[in-house]
């Protein structure tokens, strides 16, 4: 499900905007909307934000709750401060791994107005002045130039939510491409790793044998490979084995069904690596 990250100072109207967006998406677009907020995981503001460890634990709990809910369907809104750019980046990475779009809504407000709104809250929902001031000082404003803060919608207290633009960013935009580390690797042949190890070692053995009688500049023919290894210099066993390990590590990340291509690919890799 697309992720909407609410962001703003304490008492900036994030929950109000969350409910407005939820109502629009459900009534106008018939989308299922799920909200994760501080109350959902039992966060009590003046206790959590009083010390860094408890605040860090709270962020981890919110992130875990988001991770459990993320999918390619419905909409998930995270209604919390989300004021640390590094944390917003972590949330962005979750959406990349799930291959779903995300958007950031920044509820921008003057700190003095936020303080006034805070005074009108109940004791349970309000921040102490000390904690409010500290959070205002630590707030890291979203920047649309950062990919984890884009698309960014900055909303002031008197603004109307740009519902159409927000919904388009969630449902008409392609999700960010996943990192290689998060992509499920394609199935390879059952003997792929065995063949990868055997073929690359055979190539190393052929090169070592050829170097006994060759001179720099010779080209060594490799069985079952179209290209030849170009020996611009004498290459030690240690160099060859190091290059072989690098090639194996890379190839494991990009396995193939046709193991007959391994030899030729390794020759190409060697020619680029041992010049």
For the ranges 57-71, 118-132, 144-158, 170-184, the one whose mean pLDDT is highest:
144-158
Banded pLDDT at 251 (limits 50, 70, 90):
confident
pTM for the full predicted model: 0.65
Question: What integer pLDDT is reported at residue 177 of this predicted model?
Answer: 67
Average pLDDT over residues 114-139: 92
Buried b (16+ CB within 10 A) or exposed e, 73-89: eebbbbbbbbbbbebbe
Question: What integer pLDDT is reported at residue 178 of this predicted model?
Answer: 59
Cα–Cα dist 153/8, whole Å: 12
Residue 53 has pLDDT above 90, yes or no: no
- The alpha-helical segments, DSSP class H, found in 109-222 are 111-119, 129-138, 163-171, 192-210
**Phi, psi dihedrals of residue 29, rounded to the nearest 5°:** -115, 0
Listed range (220-224, 254-258, 267-271) with the worst mean pLDDT:
254-258
Asked if omega into 102 is within 30° of 0 (cis), the reply is no
Q: Give rounded-to-5 percent helix, strand, coil for the chain.
A: 50, 10, 35
Q: Is 96 exposed, middle or buried (0-12, 13-18, 19+ CB in 10 A)?
A: middle
pLDDT digits (tens, 9 = 90+) for 85-106: 999 999 998 998 888 999 999 9
Taken in order 62, 67, 69, 75, the sign of the CA dihedral is positive
Banded pLDDT at 255 (limits 50, 70, 90):
confident
**Six token digits for residue 246:** 């690098």
Contact between residue 46 and residue 127 where contact means Cβ atoms under 8 Å apart: yes
Looking at per-residue confidence, does 184 or 35 come out higher?
35
Residue 158 has pLDDT above 80, yes or no: yes
Closest CA to 1 of 99, 112, 126, 141: 99
Question: What integer pLDDT is reported at residue 164 of this predicted model?
Answer: 96
Residue 10 has pLDDT above 90, yes or no: yes
Looking at per-residue confidence, does 20 or 274 come out higher?
20
**Phi, psi dihedrals of residue 175, rounded to the nearest 5°:** -70, 160
Residue ranges and CATH numbers for the domains of the chain are 3-180 (3.40.50.300), 192-273 (no CATH)
Contact between residue 77 and residue 167 where contact means Cβ atoms under 8 Å apart: no
| Secondary structure (3-state) at 15 | helix
Token pair 């002045």: residue: 129
Looking at per-residue confidence, does 128 or 252 come out higher?
128
Q: What is the percent of the chain where pLDDT is above 90?
A: 47
pLDDT digits (tens, 9 = 90+) for 169-225: 999 888 776 554 444 444 445 578 888 888 999 999 998 888 888 887 788 888 878
């Amino acid at each position: 499900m697309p992720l909407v990250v609410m962001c703003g100072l304490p008492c900036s109207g994030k929950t109000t905007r969350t409910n407005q967006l939820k109502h629009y998406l459900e009534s106008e677009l018939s989308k299922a909307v799920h909200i994760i907020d501080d109350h959902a995981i039992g966060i009590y503001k003046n206790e959590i934000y009083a010390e860094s460890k408890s605040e860090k634990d709270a962020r981890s709990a919110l992130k875990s709750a988001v991770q459990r809910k993320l999918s390619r369907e419905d909409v998930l809104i995270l209604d919390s401060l989300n004021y640390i750019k590094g944390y917003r980046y972590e949330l962005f990475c979750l959406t990349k791994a799930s291959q779903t779009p995300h958007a950031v809504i920044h509820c921008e407000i003057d700190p003095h107005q936020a303080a006034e709104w805070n005074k009108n809250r109940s004791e349970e929902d309000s921040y102490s002045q000390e904690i409010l001031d500290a959070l205002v000082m630590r707030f890291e404003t979203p920047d649309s130039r950062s990919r984890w803060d884009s698309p960014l919608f900055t909303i002031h207290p008197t603004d109307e939510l740009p519902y159409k633009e927000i919904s388009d960013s969630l449902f008409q935009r392609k999700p960010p491409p996943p990192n290689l580390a998060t992509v499920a690797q394609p199935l390879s042949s059952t003997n792929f790793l065995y063949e990868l190890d055997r073929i690359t070692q055979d190539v190393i053995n052929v090169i070592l044998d050829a170097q006994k009688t060759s001179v720099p500049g010779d080209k060594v023919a490799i069985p079952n490979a179209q290209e030849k290894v170009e020996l611009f210099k004498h290459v030690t066993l240690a160099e060859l084995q190091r290059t072989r390990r690098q090639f194996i590590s890379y190839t494991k990340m990009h396995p193939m069904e046709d193991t007959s291509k391994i030899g030729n690919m390794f020759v190409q890799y060697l020619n680029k690596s041992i010049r």
